[in-house]
Amino acid sequence: MMNMLTSWFEHPRLRGGVHAEEHKLDTANKPINLGLPLPKRLYIPVQQHVGKAAEPLVKVGDQVLKGQILAYSQGNISAPVHASSSGKIADVLDYPAPHPSALPIRTIVIETDGLDTWQSLHVPDDPFVLTAEEICLRVGAAGVVGLGGAVFPSAVKLDLGRRNQIHTLLINGGECEPYLTCDDRMMQERAEQIVTGIRLMLQGMDAGKAIIGIEDNKPQAYQAMREASAGFDFITVSQVPTRYPMGWDRQMLRYLTGWEIPADGRATDIGVVIHNVSTAYAVYEAVVLGRPLISRVVTVAGSAVANPQNVEVLIGTLLQDLLKFCEFDEQKLSRLVMGGPMMGDALPRRDVPLVKATNGVLALSAQDLPENSVQPCIRCSSCVSACPVGLLPLEMASRIKVNQLEAAVDIGLKDCINCGSCSYVCPSHIPLVQYFKYAAGELFKRQQMEHKSEQTRRLMNDKNERLEKIRLEAEEEARRMAEARAARAREQAAKESVTTQQEGA
Ligand code: SF4
Ligand code: SF4
């Protein structure tokens, strides 16, 4: 309780959260490394975003140029994918995804030619004369998605913004996950381009102002962004306290403005759109330089790499190539994580590609992962104080333990953002967030099964209705034929009767 009260007195708008060990110094002060050698093969999945997978339009043997579209977006929520380098399409196959399940997904493999030749790019003379719609179209065509981890297609978000009368664009420079510093370095080194991207996003939504929130453990980034936005009085750069999960959009918005996004609603419901700093940079590249999203900056860290750093990596590069570049020691590896240690995914293999969502690759050793044995709950309520959503983690976990998933849903399971703050503070080392992830997975499976049986039920009903219709039509036809036969028989009988009468006369 003390923890919650201290936090509330310090920052009355903050809810929950923890002071997680940062582990950022190893990478935060090194420039972004642009020297990763071009891989011989790039593995580019067609599903790297929220929404429908893109549809491949290349075939094995095709020659492609860097930046060329490989797969078209499908439906309203989707994003295209592009060639990260020039070369030949070596395969279009189902290949393991960078996901804990490692389930295969459709992937286009490019055998690079070493020339890295760009296709011709469509660069506008002055991007600031483009209409809002033109900006959205360019961002969509470039396959830009939310690079803070959400990977929601950015053009769809801008378009939503345009249709929802947005007054504020919030740019999230929180980067609160331990180890990760890619956004920090982006702000330090590419602040002007990020600010240009922000101005274009405002233009793409017809919105009036932007607020950039940066945790106060990134003073150089804060300074660089302030300098880059000087002269644009519609952009405010603000520092926010370093407290995980400050990078959670709702927490940052609440802290900076006091505005609350409705529990079941979206930021657009209150006139706000939220994007990440790296997304703003991708928008700059898409609109000003005409370049699609084919690379991103990734933090590689953890004690199993001797040279932790931020690296600009082509989408489709295998994690094993990136790790090797950072002097990876296989003997030391205990856990490979994509993303941060709090919300990232543990990966079972290293031969999976880096995708648009990958902001970090952590090669963690035993030294990074202290073994703590799980003890019984002492009902200290630290997990409750730490929860930024205001949930009761202990109560949810005890229901999940006895498989009462619906009961856990009743007390807020679906609002859990899996931030792991509760697990982090638990003195009994109870892996609370693992319970929530498990339960969410189970509920999803059940929902899928219900959806399937509902579909089967609907198909059966349709089939029965069709059969019934055929039966009724056949009956009707038989009735009509019987009537026609009877009519013909009556006619024949009448004719015969007339003939008999004539003969008798
Ligand atoms: S689950 Fe852990 S943090 Fe929560 S009340 Fe029990 S011991 Fe305390
Ligand atoms: S993981 Fe869920 S329950 Fe735990 S602190 Fe985060 S939001 Fe709350």
Q: pLDDT tier at 505 (50, 70, 90 boundaries)?
A: low
Map tokens 């994918």 to a residue: 81
| Mean pLDDT score across all residues of the chain | 93
Residue 389 in contact with ligand 2 by CB distance below 6 A: yes
Residue 107 in contact with ligand 2 by CB distance below 6 A: no
Residue 430 in contact with ligand 1 by CB distance below 6 A: yes
Q: What is the pLDDT of residue 182?
A: 98
The residues, ordered by sequence, that sit 6+ positions from 216 with a Cβ below 8 Å of its Cβ are: 222, 239, 240, 241, 242
Angle at 392 between CA 391 and CA 393, to 5 degrees: 100
The amino acid present at 43, given as its one-letter code, is Y
Coil/strand/helix, residue 89? strand
Percent of the chain predicted with pLDDT > 70: 97
Q: Has residue 6 got a pLDDT over 60?
A: no
Per residue in 277-325, pLDDT tens? 999 999 999 999 999 999 999 999 999 999 999 999 999 999 999 999 9
Q: What is the pLDDT of residue 9?
A: 54
Give the Å distance between the CA of 335 and the centre of ligand 1: 25
Nearest Cα residue to atom 7 of ligand 2: 416
Four-residue CA torsion sign, 339, 345, 350, 351: negative
Average pLDDT for 450-467: 88
Higher pLDDT, 146 or 162: 146
Tokens matching residue 162: 């345009």
Q: What is the pLDDT of residue 493?
A: 86
Residue 391 in contact with ligand 2 by CB distance below 6 A: yes
Q: What is the pLDDT of residue 80?
A: 96
Determine the residue of 383, 395, 434 to mutate for testing ligand 1's pocket, defined as the one with the most ligand atoms within 8 A of the Cβ atom: 383
Alpha-carbon span 3 to 18, nearest angstrom: 9
Per residue in 398-421, pLDDT tens? 999 999 999 999 999 999 999 999
Q: What is the pLDDT of residue 2?
A: 42
Q: Has residue 5 got a pLDDT over 50?
A: no
Q: Has residue 7 got a pLDDT over 80?
A: no
Average pLDDT for 61-85: 95
Residue 251 in contact with ligand 1 by CB distance below 6 A: no
Map tokens 């590609």 to a residue: 353
Residue 433 in contact with ligand 2 by CB distance below 6 A: yes
| DSSP H/E element including 154 | helix 154-163
Which of 336, 324, 339, 338 lies closest to 365, judged by CA?
336
Check residue 17 and report its DSSP letter: -
Q: What is the pLDDT of residue 4?
A: 45
Of 18-27, 136-145, 151-160, 174-183, give the lowest mean pLDDT range.
151-160
Alpha-carbon span 118 to 44, nearest angstrom: 17
Average pLDDT for 55-69: 97
Per residue in 336-369, pLDDT tens? 999 999 999 999 999 999 999 999 999 999 999 9
Phi, psi of 293 (to 5 degrees): -80, 100
Q: What is the pLDDT of residue 1?
A: 42
Ligand of minimum distance to the alpha carbon of 433: 2
Angle between helices 182-189 and 277-288 (to 10 degrees): 50
Q: What is the pLDDT of residue 99?
A: 92
Q: What is the pLDDT of residue 206?
A: 85
